[in-house]
Structure 1
Amino acid sequence: MSKWKEAVITRIADRSPSVRSFWLALPDRERLEYRPGQFLTLDLPISENRRERWRSYSIAAAPDGTNEAELCIVQLPDGRGTRYLFEEAEVGTRVLTKEPGGVFTLPERPLDYDVVMICTGTGVAPFRAMLQERLGRETRRFHLIFGCRTAEDLLYREEFEALARKHPHFSYTATVSRERVEGTAELEVLSGYVHQVYQRDYATPRPDLRFYLCGWSQMVDEAAANLLALGYAKEQVILELYG
């Protein structure tokens, strides 16, 4: 069984009205090693039952040579874990965590296919980490398709727009379901949901594509079914579910 480690919250920042970033440092090391796309599991003081205390959150940034990791977390109305993090935790709070885990990662070798990243809400977190690490050393195309409700929910918008300006092989499309949002030269914005984007842009199956899906299970399940119905092979669709 994995050994629990002590971590300390070093910084907290608002990302939207309902999302915050929490930076956790592991004092037992100088560098925290992990692969973009992996997550940290926290043991939060919210229950006597240990399994009810465990919450897993994707790491939202690539390794930077320090012993810290950024977690991008949405506050859930009925979530005991996020209630604790948003209402009780503060800089200096100590929690238990395990070593980074998960297999929702890109291959370590250079890519021989284009990557389409489809996500909603804080499901964008692992993709941010992947893009930070890989865009500068890959020639294959990356397309981030990000669904949310309002302009305020477009997490890391300025950062992704800057990446689109810097890297011609990266494109960024957002779908917003509850209000009209203006796009830019670097960001295409559509009213609606993520499904319309990949069904428009990738209607004809190609063997040199991989779809990485991350977000709420309803969106991920629907997108996976749609892609298979379009004719993509099962191994071309890689999933990470939230809730």
Structure 2
Amino acid sequence: MKWKPAIIRRIEQRTPTVRSFWLEMPDRASLDFRPGQFLTLELPVSERRRDGWRSYSIAAAPDGSNQAELCIVRLPDGKGTSYLFEGADVGTELLAKEPGGVFTLPEGPLTKNVVMICTGTGVAPFRAMLQERLGRESVHFHLIFGCRTAEDILYREEFAALARQYANFTYSVALSRSDVLAEDGIDFHRGYVHPVYERDYAAVRPDVCFYLCGWSEMVDEAKRRLLALGYAPEQVIAELYG
């Protein structure tokens, strides 16, 4: 697949360690993709081109423009994110492949309730999915988001507003290093994400599908726990971040 030009058009600091980067694909009028897919960038961090390839989930649904929002966390020892946070700026031109990936919701009306379990920037594909599907589906969506402290909550106001607006959406936040807060639209918990879904879905149901996204340790643990509860493997769908 050919590499195409991608120009950074906007940068926004989301949390102390996370930024959103809006990339424009100037070779087309609109960027077509399915929510849940990712963009692979080529970053100038090595003499070997392949060593600079990094994939990031698209964090917003298609809007008819030729831009995509990527939600990226700066890694302490990450050459790619060090470049994006220190060497790149608005106007920087990169190379990107066409959107790819199969971590997407089924096409057509959904028949099973959707439980989205994630940590950190693993929330990005779920935000895109919710933007596109929440208002037109009759099934229930439950987003369970884990992070360390309240200042690390990505898209906090947006998801809380959705929970107030839609009766078929529940928004739970697990804070591992912060006290539980009180806020309309958010179901707060102290600790990690695992006790949240184990509490709410302890009784095995055939009408639910779990989508997991984030670092491999969390995803592997969630998959193990859900299967131990008695859920079928086809009810647990995962996207790993490393």
TM-score by length of 2: 0.99
Distance 1:183 1:203 in 2: 25
CA distance in 2, matches of 1:212, 1:48: 37
- 1:9-68 Cα distance to aligned partner (Å, 9 max, x none): 000000000000000000000000000000000000000112211000000000000000
Q: Give, in whole Å, the separation in 1 of the partners of 2:189 and 2:106.
A: 31
Deviation at 1:190, TM superposition (A): 0.6
Paired positions, count: 242
In structure 1, list runs of 5 or more residues that go unmatched.
none
5+ unaligned residues in a row in structure 2: which ranges?
none
For 2:3 and 2:184, the matched residues in 1 are separated by 46
CA distance in 2 between counterparts of 1:153 and 1:102 reads: 26
CA distance in 2, matches of 1:214, 1:179: 22
Q: Distance in 1 between matches of 2:224 and 2:54?
A: 27
2:191 counterpart of 1:184: no
Equivalence for 1:38: 37
1:203 — aligned with what? Answer: 202
* CA–CA separation in structure 2 for the residues paired with 1:241 and 1:152: 24
- State the shift of 1:185 in Å: 2.7
Normalising to structure 1: TM-score of the pair? 0.99
Identity %: 71
How many Å separate the matches in 2 of 1:49 and 1:235?
38
> Offset of 1:165 from its aligned partner?
1.1
Match of 1:84 in 2: 83
Distance 1:109 1:46 in 2: 41
1:240 deviation in Å?
0.3
User: What's the counterpart of residue 104 of structure 2?
Assistant: 105
Partner of 1:157: 156
Write the distance in 1 (CA, Å) between the matches of 2:161 and 2:2: 39
Which consecutive aligned stretches of 4+ in structure 1 deviate over 2 angstroms post-superposition?
A: none
1:120 counterpart letter in structure 2:
T
- RMSD (CA atoms): 0.6
Aligned to 2:3: 4
Deviations 1:189-235 (A, max 9, x none): 11000000000000111111100000010000000000000000000
Distance (Å, rounded) in 1 between the aligned partners of 2:164 and 2:228: 34
Tell me which amino acid in the other structure corresponds to 1:139.
Answer: S
**Distance in 2 between residues matched to 1:165 and 1:125, nearest whole Å:** 20
Secondary structure at the residue paired with 2:125?
helix
The one-character-per-residue Cα deviations of 1:92-140 (angstroms, maximum 9, x if unpaired) are 0000000000000001110000000000000000000000000110010
| Counterpart Cα distance in 2 of 1:83 and 1:146 | 25
The residue identity in structure 1 corresponding to 2:85 is F
Matches within 5 A, 1:1-243: 2-243=1-242
Aligned-partner residue type, residue 66 of structure 1 = S
* C-alpha displacement of 1:179: 1.2
- The DSSP-based 3-state class of the residue aligned with 2:71 is strand
Deviation at residue 146 of structure 1 after TM alignment:
0.2
**Amino acid in the other structure paired with 1:25:** E
